[in-house]
Structure 1
């Protein structure tokens, strides 16, 4: 028995007791559906378009700066600079990028200000 439908036990019934759905039932179309008004749709749309998290955007910016610094350090290493000179130049380059950038380092944003 499943949800009160079918035999309590299939013993002696000549069946295995498997209950199937009645696919012949056609449900009537609901003519009195309530549709959302324009104001409700506007509030739902406004709630779904929220601004990106500033901390995440700042973290992405810092990651891009560190990637550029690592690439710069690799270039300097290939050119044969010593370790101390590389560290100084990379630190200066990092400071320059942090001051110059202020959140606009190659960030492509969509119409809502989210990074794409």
Structure 2
């Protein structure tokens, strides 16, 4: 692999190559700060994503509640129309029922 001596003859060594553990991490202050800022930015983006999901779930739940109220109102309207009531009376009764359900 090109590390070490071609031949250990005449050097007084066995030719064994060791890793130098004294060098340690050479990452400087700027690199550490940049890495920390990038990590913080990733965390904030992750939090924004989770907040958007929570908000979307809330909106879906609200939509489903409103939809179920409208379904009940339409069933009530069909019942009143079968009874043969006038449109103005039906509209007022359905509107009252909608306000009660919400």
Band of TM-score, shorter chain: 0.3 to 0.5
**Structure 1 length normalisation: TM-score?**
0.40
**Structure 2 length normalisation: TM-score?**
0.46
* Greater helix share, structure number: 2
Q: Which has the higher contact order (CA 8 A, sep 6+)?
A: 1
Structure index of larger Rg: 2
